[in-house]
Amino acid sequence: QKEVEQDPGPLSVPEGAIVSLNCTYSNSAFQYFMWYRQYSRKGPELLMYTYSSGNKEDGRFTAQVDKSSKYISLFIRDSQPSDSATYLCAMSAIRTSGSRLTFGEGTQLTVNP
């Protein structure tokens, strides 16, 4: 079983739709939860960062972490064509030798004008 499972998609939505992206994980030691956005042929860029359980909002983006269910989500409100990208969830545990992110396989999102 993979440590991190991500809804594979691909996902295609009309402009303005609310998008929900989800990941589950098995390692209860994970404390830090992130979402990265990766445009085609580019490196991932950090979109949202959450420590432990709870919600975090940044503009049109909301990240939710439910550690009891080992489940994280990213919501995108009023989606735009520029949001079309692959979204990767990532998480890490506390380590002394530098945090080690474990990624989901990504969900490819297309927002149609």
Partner 1 sequence: DAMVIQNPRYQVTQFGKPVTLSCSQTLNHNVMYWYQQKSSQAPKLLFHYYDKDFNNEADTPDNFQSRRPNTSFCFLDIRSPGLGDAAMYLCATSRGQGDGYTFGSGTRLTVV
Q: Which is nearer to partner 1, 19 or 106 (CB)?
A: 106
Smallest distance from the beta carbon of 55 to partner 1, in angstroms? Answer: 18
Which stretches of the chain bind partner 1, using CB under 8 A? 4, 6, 31-32, 34, 36, 41-46, 49, 51, 88, 92, 94-95, 97-101, 103-106, 108
State in angstroms the smallest separation of the CB of 16 from partner 1: 27
All residues at 6 or more sequence positions from 5 whose CB lies less than 8 Å from its CB, including other chains: 23, 24, 25, 104
- Return the bridge partners of 102, or none: 91
User: Distance between CA atoms of 58 and 78, rounded to whole angstroms?
Assistant: 13
